[in-house]
Chains A and B, each alone.
Chain A
Amino acid sequence: MSNEWPLWEIFIRGQHGMSHRHVGSLHAPDAETAIRNGRDVYTRRNEGVSIWAVESAHIAASAPGDKGPYYDPSDSKIYRHPTFFDIPDEVGSM
């Protein structure tokens, strides 16, 4: 009988106030168990202080083929970086 537990993606917030970060996935029958198993599988060495579990089927993702059209346009907009602008030293820090 194939009654495989669904797959969950696990996100962990580390110690230092960072965002939750994807660490991997695991199988679990429900959200509660996914979080508990996430604790055992992904935080055996104090890696986190908070866990999110999202059923993998609910993750929407961009298509790899869109990489060019999606991200290339920002390549030419170097003025979005502060280093684009020369500010005279006399002005002080800015």
Chain B
Amino acid sequence: MYAQMVKTSGSGVKSRSEMGAQEQAFQARIDAGDKIEPRDWMPDEYRKTLIRQIGQHAHSEIVGQLPEGNWITRAPTLERKAILLAKVQDEAGHGLYLYCAAETLGVSRDELLTELHAGRMKYSSIFNYPTLNWADIGAVGWLVDGAAIVNQVALQRTSYGPYSRAMVRICKEESFHARQGFVIMMKMASGTPAQRAMAQDALDRLWYPSLMMFGPSDKDSVHSEQSMAWKIKVKSNDELRQKYVDQTIPQIEYLGLKCPDADIRWNGEKGGYDFSEPDWAEFYEVIKGNGPCNKERLGARVKAWDDGEWVRDGLMAHAQKKAAAKHAAAQEGSGNVE
């Protein structure tokens, strides 16, 4: 999802007998639905895995601003521009909430960014696909934020308190994102034949990449079990993907568009749609750095970081100077009072 294929530290799920007393008590708290808070004892692997997962999630929010930011200056109306701007600003906020949640685990934001910029930490594969036209902005809000919501709603119940609280906050803001996207799609799908074709084309291109957001199929998802035991992951990749498909197909029908998956059909027995898996070979290529926009996205982040250095340093120097002057004035002031 926003955190795909997060490597879980440790070697598989530990049984109770392999755990020390402290860890047993920790697992019992998780099983009882307790939230783990920053200063509570936690196994090292739990901490490390969470840092990777929350960090990757935060990076996805920040990198995710790029494909949409690309269209702010070209939005068709002033209102649309203001809406998109607010949406992209929300994503910056989401990134900040999540970096702060990660920081409670003892890593600094700058460390996480350094890892991202060096290519050692990932962000969601979806943001390595381009946004070619305005219909893509509709499809991203509708499909990509829609998928993010499915994942994040589940994660509100995650065991780590700060992560869970960040998810609650983020979920409150996400439905605006999905709705504004869907309304763009409604507009285009009921527009001229050319606009309809653009809407269909956006759906065709983004459908499978959206399904990939949930990560590999459960049978190939090596890291899931321990993360599920820790409630860092609350539902499996396939469960979430199924839920997403089931909610999205009726929306596609409402728009009068066609799902690019010809094999999609309702399965009454399981109470959900049968659908084709995305091309997992493509997914692994994108994850490895070979998607259509990987270089551009990471390049833009590194450039923003490098170009912003003088601003960060300048403001820090100014703050230090101001603090020193205040301190000196206080010293002088207290000297005069005899």
Contacts and interface: CB of A to CB of B under 8 A. Distances in A.
A5 B39 contact: no
Given A2-B110, A24-B97, A44-B89, A29 B319 contact: yes
B318 interface: yes
A50 interface: no
Interface in A29-73: 29-30, 33, 40-41, 44-45, 61, 63-64
Q: How many residues of A sit at the interface, in one of the four size bands?
A: 20 to 34
B312 A5 contact: yes
A3 B108 contact: no
A1 B308 CA distance: 13
Nearest to B110: A4
A29 B316 contact: yes
A41 B39 CA distance: 25
A41 B96 contact: yes
B316 A5 contact: yes
A33 B314 CA distance: 13
B110 A44 contact: no
Given A1-B313, A44-B93, A61-B39, A7 B103 contact: yes
B315 A33 contact: yes
Nearest to A1: B313
- Which 7 pairs from chain A and chain B are nearest by CB? A30-B319, A29-B319, A29-B315, A25-B100, A4-B110, A29-B316, A64-B40
10 contacts: A3-B312, A3-B313, A26-B96, A27-B109, A30-B322, A40-B93, A41-B96, A44-B86, A45-B173, A61-B39
Interface of A: 1-5, 7, 24-27, 29-30, 33, 40-41, 44-45, 61, 63-64
